[in-house]
Amino acid sequence: MRAVQVTRFGGPEVLVCAEVAKPSPISTEVLVRVVAAGVNPVDAKTRRGEGVARWVGPPPFIPGWDVCGVVEAMGYGVTRFNEGDMVYGMPRFPRAGGAYAEYVAAPSRQFARIPDGISPTEAAALPLAALTAWQCLVDTANIRTGQTVLVHGAGGGVGHLAVQIANALGARVLTTGRHDRDALRTRDADVALDLVGGADTGELVASLRPDGLLLAVADGADDEVRAEATRRRVRLQEPLVEPDGHALEEIAKVVRSRALKVMVAETYPLDQARAAHERLEGGGVRGKLVLEVGRD
Ligand X SMILES: NC(=O)c1ccc[n+]([C@@H]2O[C@H](COP(=O)([O-])OP(=O)(O)OC[C@H]3O[C@@H](n4cnc5c(N)ncnc54)[C@H](OP(=O)(O)O)[C@@H]3O)[C@@H](O)[C@H]2O)c1
Query: What amino acid is encoded at 129 in this protein?
Result: A
Alpha helices in the chain (DSSP H): 41-47, 53-56, 120-124, 127-134, 157-168, 200-205, 223-231, 245-256, 273-282
For residues 105 and 132, which CB has a smaller minimum distance to ligand X in the complex?
Answer: 132
Positions in 102-141 near ligand X (CB under 6 A): 128-129, 132
Comparing every residue's Cβ against ligand X, the nearest one is 156
User: Quick check: 137 and 149 in contact, CB under 8 A?
Assistant: yes
Residue of the chain from 38, 127, 155, 243 that contacts ligand X (CB under 6 A): 155
Q: Does 23 bind ligand X (CB under 6 A)?
A: no
Residue of the chain from 89, 115, 127, 159 that contacts ligand X (CB under 6 A): 159
Cα(159)–Cα(132) distance, integer angstroms: 10
Cα(42)–Cα(65) distance, integer angstroms: 9
Residue of the chain from 177, 202, 263, 275 that contacts ligand X (CB under 6 A): 177
Q: Does 97 bind ligand X (CB under 6 A)?
A: no
Closest to 203 measured CA to CA, from 164, 172, 234:
234
For residues 178 and 253, which CB has a smaller minimum distance to ligand X in the complex?
Answer: 178
Q: Which stretch binds ligand X (CB under 6 A): 12-20, 72-80, 115-123, 236-244?
A: 236-244
For residues 21 and 199, which CB has a smaller minimum distance to ligand X in the complex?
Answer: 199
Cα(273)–Cα(13) distance, integer angstroms: 10
**Positions that interact with ligand X (CB under 6 A):** 40-42, 128-129, 132, 153, 155-159, 176-178, 181, 195-197, 217-218, 239-241, 283-285
